[in-house]
Amino acid sequence: MKSFVVSLAFIFILFSSAFTQSTNEFTIDSIIESQSNMVKIDEVVLRENYENTRNKKEALSVEVIKSDFIFENNAGNLVQTIEKLPGVSAMSIGSGFAKPMIRGFGFNRVAVSEYGIKQEGQQWGADHGLELDQFNVEKLILYKGPMSLQYGSDAIGGLIEIVPAAIPNVNKVFGEVSLIGKSNNSLFGSSAMIGIKHKKWYSKTRFTEQHFGDYKVPTDSFNYLSRSLPIYNGVLKNTAGYERDFFTSLSYLGNKYHSSITFSNVFQKIGFFPGAHGIPDLNRLKDDGNARNIEVPNSQVNHFKIINNTSIDLRNWKLYIDVAFQNNHRQEWAKFHTHYGNQAPPLLNPDLELDFNLNTYNGNLKLVSQNDSIWQHTMGINMDYQNNTIAGYVFLLPEYSRFSSGVYIIETYSVNTKAKLTGGVRFDLGSIFIQSFYDSILHNYLVNMNAYNPIEIGAYSRRSYGINRQFHNMSSSLAWIYNIDRQQTYKVNIGNSYRLPGANELASNGVHHGTFRHEQGDTSLLSEMAFHLDASYTFNNDKFYFSISPFGSWFGNYIYLNPTGIWSVLPHAGQIYHYTQAKVLAAGGESTFNYEFHNNFTYEASIEYVYLKNLGDGYPLPFSPPLSVLNSITWHWHSETKTLREFHCKMEHQWVAAQNRISRNEDTTPGYGLWGFSLNNALQAGKRKMHLSFQIHNLLNTKYFNHLSFYRKLNISEPGRNIQLIIKIPIN
Query: Is residue 60 a contact partner of residue 135, using CB atoms and an 8 Å limit?
Result: no
User: What separation in angstroms does the CA of 704 have from each of 219, 709, 712?
Assistant: 10, 11, 10
Q: Supply the range of the domain harboring residue 509.
A: 47-731
- Name the 3-class secondary structure at 463: strand
User: What separation in angstroms does the CA of 594 have from each of 4, 604, 608, 621?
Assistant: 23, 4, 15, 32
Segment 251-279 shows an average pLDDT of 91
**Pairing status of strand 528-540 against strand 437-438:** unpaired
Asked whether residue 583 falls in the same domain as residue 714, the answer is yes
Q: What is the reported pLDDT for 224?
A: 76
Over the stretch 463-486, which tens digit does the pLDDT of each residue have? 999 999 999 999 999 999 999 998
Q: Read off the pLDDT band of 57 (50, 70, 90).
A: low
User: Taking 80 as the threshold, does the pLDDT of residue 94 lie above it?
Assistant: no
Over the stretch 105-159, which tens digit does the pLDDT of each residue have? 998 999 999 999 999 998 887 777 889 999 999 999 999 989 988 898 889 999 9
Euclidean distance between CA atoms 634 and 601, whole angstroms: 6
Beta bridge partners of 235: 216
Tell which residue, 669, 583, 565, has the closest CA to residue 621: 583
Q: What is the reported pLDDT for 642?
A: 60
Query: Is residue 406 a contact partner of residue 365, using CB atoms and an 8 Å limit?
Result: no
Q: Read off the pLDDT band of 282 (50, 70, 90).
A: confident
User: Taking 80 as the threshold, does the pLDDT of residue 73 lie above it?
Assistant: yes
Burial class (CB in 10 A: 0-12, 13-18, 19+), 611: middle
Q: Read off the pLDDT band of 2 (50, 70, 90).
A: very low
Segment 33-40 shows an average pLDDT of 41
Tell which residue, 366, 380, 360, 379, has the closest CA to residue 309: 366
> Which among 71-75, 503-507, 655-659 has the top mean pLDDT?
655-659
- Name the 3-class secondary structure at 606: strand
C-alpha neighbours within 13 Å on the C-beta side of residue 510: 25
Q: What is the DSSP string of 687-722?
A: TEEEEEEEEEESTT------TT-TTGGGTPPPP--E
User: What separation in angstroms does the CA of 570 have from each of 233, 410, 445?
Assistant: 35, 50, 10
Asked whether residue 28 falls in the same domain as residue 108, the answer is no
Q: What is the reported pLDDT for 17?
A: 35
Euclidean distance between CA atoms 297 and 275, whole angstroms: 10
Asked whether residue 17 falls in the same domain as residue 51, the answer is no
Q: Read off the pLDDT band of 53 (50, 70, 90).
A: low
Segment 13-39 shows an average pLDDT of 37
Asked whether residue 51 falls in the same domain as residue 41, the answer is no
Handedness of CA 453, 456, 461, 462 (dihedral sign): positive
Asked whether residue 56 falls in the same domain as residue 37, the answer is no
Euclidean distance between CA atoms 370 and 393, whole angstroms: 56
Over the stretch 347-403, which tens digit does the pLDDT of each residue have? 899 999 999 999 999 999 999 999 888 999 999 999 999 999 999 999 999 999 999
Query: Is residue 102 a contact partner of residue 144, using CB atoms and an 8 Å limit?
Result: yes
Beta bridge partners of 177: 192, 729
Asked whether residue 24 falls in the same domain as residue 143, the answer is no
Tell which residue, 477, 492, 481, 478, has the closest CA to residue 417: 481
- The CATH number of the domain holding residue 361 is 2.40.170.20
Q: Strand ranges (DSSP E) for 484-627? A: 488-499, 509-512, 517-520, 528-540, 544-567, 575-598, 601-614
pTM of the model: 0.89
**Pairing status of strand 462-464 against strand 437-438:** antiparallel
Euclidean distance between CA atoms 2 and 9, whole angstroms: 11
- Name the 3-class secondary structure at 53: helix
Euclidean distance between CA atoms 714 and 322, whole angstroms: 43
Q: What is the DSSP string of 109-127?
A: GEEEEETTEE--SSTTSTT
Q: What is the reported pLDDT for 25?
A: 37
Asked whether residue 506 falls in the same domain as residue 403, the answer is yes
Q: What is the reported pLDDT for 687?
A: 74
Q: Read off the pLDDT band of 51 (50, 70, 90).
A: low
Domain count, the chain: 2
Euclidean distance between CA atoms 515 and 563, whole angstroms: 13
Over the stretch 670-680, which tens digit does the pLDDT of each residue have? 999 999 999 99
Q: What is the DSSP string of 346-397?
A: PSSSTTEEEEEEEEEEEEEEEEEE-S-SSEEEEEEEEEEEEEEEEESSS-SS
Asked whether residue 213 falls in the same domain as residue 277, the answer is yes
Beta bridge partners of 193: 176, 206
Distance of CA 135 to the CA centre of its chain: 14
Asked whether residue 552 falls in the same domain as residue 700, the answer is yes
Tally the residues of the chain: 732
Over the stretch 522-564, which tens digit does the pLDDT of each residue have? 999 999 999 999 999 999 998 899 999 999 999 999 999 898 8
User: What separation in angstroms does the CA of 723 have from each of 180, 369, 497, 677?
Assistant: 11, 50, 43, 10
Euclidean distance between CA atoms 700 and 719, whole angstroms: 12
Q: What percent of the chain has pLDDT over 70?
A: 90
Query: Is residue 590 a contact partner of residue 608, using CB atoms and an 8 Å limit?
Result: yes
Domain finish residue from 24, 46, 68:
46
Asked whether residue 28 falls in the same domain as residue 103, the answer is no
Amino acid letter, residue 43:
E
Asked whether residue 523 falls in the same domain as residue 551, the answer is yes
Asked whether residue 36 falls in the same domain as residue 118, the answer is no
Q: What percent of the chain has pLDDT over 90?
A: 68
Over the stretch 329-357, which tens digit does the pLDDT of each residue have? 999 999 888 777 778 898 899 999 999 99
